[in-house]
Structure 1
Amino acid sequence: MHEIILRKTEYLGFSHIVNKEHSNLFGKIRRISIQGSVDNVLESINNSKIRSVSVFNVDRMRNSFMTRLVLDFKLIKVLDFENGPIEYLPEGVGNLFHLHYLSVKNTKVKVLPKSIGKLLNLKTLNLKHSLVTELPSEINNLKKLRYLLVYRFDRSGNYEYVKIPKGFGLLLDLQKLGFVEANFEVLRELRKLRHMRKLGVRLKTGNGKDLCACIANMEKLESLIVQSTSRDGVLDIESMASPPHCLQRLYLTGNMKKLPDWIFKLKCIIRISLNLSGLTDDPIRVLQTLPNLLDLRLWDTCHDNNFISKKIGFHN
């Protein structure tokens, strides 16, 4: 089936693979998938108006390749360097005015060039598991940005957070943001982002009410991840009179005596994951009443055997 798909994509001109066996390309080429090596790739597509470039299993990528790619192919809409052997993005990437998608996921890129603020049509910026620790303030110019993924894991498996610049509340089209540290300044910006669908935050103690106020504004929110700064850190997220009615996935990590009452109102919720210490109330009593819950995950949450020995009344 994979071979059939590859032949079809080339026959229809949808995408072309470039590797040692397929290095000579002819005809109208718009999307290329570079596999194994980037040597002589640009020469083979010199007269093409490439729109999409993806790399797979490439061991080495010269600086000259990166520089020429962004210099000679101004119509590129997709640049996917995921798992690629790159350590930087050239300043010239800001000249790719038509760029919609940029991924340096799982690369050694440490700094984003300030010219990234010129990518006014960018919709997705994927920095997951890269070495970027801080976003430039120019990111606030990207008014069409919808998906901003800016986290990685440390050796212990915990999230490490990227510093977000002041003023990112100007990104009014943002729909997915993860993960950010929810201090007072960040929460003030989050209140402006009413189109959010997926949000992941690490909550500092004392900011629970402000976070609840932000979430209440996000009427389209479908997925919410809230972690305290440590598993014993208190999650104070009870003060939400009206949670987003579209919420389908909820992940909570921290210290909490009882589940918030607003969880009763989550009629569309299908997945809940809890990693909570300090619970003194039986979470099953609350969760079994949710009409559409399909997936329940409890991580070191129920410490009383009586919690799981009682009669379960889940609808599904």
Structure 2
Amino acid sequence: MPPGIGSLESLQKLSLVKASKKIIRELGNSVQLRKLGITKLESGHGRDLCASIQNMEDLSSLHVSSTNEEEFLALDDVSRSPRLPCSLYLGVRLQYIPQWISSVHSLAKICLKGSKLLNCPLEAIQALPSSLELRLVDVYIGEELKFKSNRFQKLVILEIRTIQ
């Protein structure tokens, strides 16, 4: 990624960007970004990524992944979540589902991969009214996922897998 990516204020789509602290901070200037895909995140990138995401009011798709399956990525420092996300892919190890996700009512596609949570992830996401697609891959290391009745009423696709 060339230096100065943050000066592209009108940029709307950016995918497969290899994370670095500098690039993540510069992305906060790309306030018109609608789709963001960032890879190779490390545990120290969480706070800066959250600060940049807060500035992206038109963000409709967020795809983040990390390289280290054992490092936790904290994504809970978002005080003002984007208004429009329709698609969310988190391919990172999490200690818990970030609270801001449950306030994004337009979220239609959710994919969580490799989180290996100790607590059931459904509590944080099952009240989202627009969920059409839910993919949980290696997300929960507990015994069972408990779906409450009258939740996920629009759900069309449900995928639950464990990678061995």
Who is 1:280 aligned against? Answer: 118
1:130-151 Cα distance to aligned partner (Å, 9 max, x none): xxxxxxxxxxxxxxxxxxxxxx
Q: Which has the higher contact order (CA 8 A, sep 6+)?
A: 2
8 A Cα contact 2:119 2:140, kept in partner: no
Counterpart mapping for 1:15-30 below 5 A: none
Match of 1:183 among 2, 8, 20: 20
Match of residue 11 from structure 1: none
Is the partner of 1:169 in helix, strand or coil?
helix
8 Å Cα contact 2:25-2:49 kept in structure 1: no
Specify the SS of the correspondent of 2:101. helix
Aligned residue in 1 for 2:44: 206
Structure-2 separation of matches of 1:223 and 1:165:
23
Q: Distance in 2 between matches of 1:190 and 1:254?
A: 19
Structure 1 counterpart of 2:74, one-letter code: D
State the TM-score, normalized to the length of structure 2.
Answer: 0.86
Q: 2:10 aligns with which of 163, 173, 183?
A: 173
Out of 235, 248, 269, the position equivalent to 2:73 is 235
Choose 208-217 or 299-308, whichever is displaced more: 299-308
Contact between 2:102 and 2:127, CA under 8 Å: does it hold in 1? yes
Structure 2 CA distance for aligned equivalents of residues 192 and 279 of structure 1: 32
Q: State, as a whole percentage, how many aligned pairs show the same letter.
A: 38
CA drift at 1:307: 1.4
Per the normalisation by structure 1, the TM-score is: 0.46
CA distance in structure 2 between the partners assigned to 1:250 and 1:277 by the alignment = 14
Q: What one-letter code is carried by the residue in structure 2 that aligns with 1:246?
A: L
Indicate if the aligned counterparts of 1:199 and 1:224 stay in contact, CA closer than 8 A.
Answer: yes
Q: Which amino acid aligns with 2:71?
A: G
Whole-angstrom distance in 2 between the partners of 1:277 and 1:194: 28
> Which whole-Å deviations, capped at 9, do the CAs of 1:214-252 have from their partners, x for residues lacking one?
000000000001112223331211110111010100000
CA distance, structure 1, for counterparts of residue 50 and residue 95 of structure 2: 18
Q: Which residue number corresponds to residue 158 of structure 2? A: none
CA contact 2:106–2:130 (8 Å) conserved in 1: yes
Contact 2:116 2:140 in 1 (8 A): no
1:42-61 residue pairs with structure 2 within 5 A?
A: none
What CA distance in whole angstroms lies between the structure 2 residues aligned with 1:311 and 1:219?
A: 31
CA–CA distance in 2 between the matches of 1:274 and 1:306?
16
* Counterpart amino acid of residue 9 in structure 2: L
Structure 1: gaps of 5 or more residues: 1-163
Work out which of the residue numbers 117, 139, 147 in structure 2 matches 1:301.
139
The equivalent of 2:161 in structure 1 is: none
Residue of structure 2 equivalent to 1:193: 30
Residues 231, 253 of structure 1: 8 Å contact kept: no
2:86 & 2:70 partners in 1: Cα distance? Answer: 26
State the Cα RMSD in Å. Answer: 1.4
Residues 256-312 of structure 1: per-residue CA shift (max 9 Å, x gap): 12100101101100000010233011111221100111100011213323214x534
Query: SS in structure 2 opposite 1:206?
Result: helix
For 2:3, the aligned partner's letter is: K
Deviations 1:168-204 (A, max 9, x none): 2222221000111221110222111000000011222
Report the count of equivalent residues.
152
Equivalent positions of 1:122-271 (< 5 A) are: 164-202=1-39, 203-271=41-109
Matched AA of 1:277: S
- For 1:234 and 1:254, locate their aligned partners in 2 and report how far apart those are by CA, in whole Å: 7
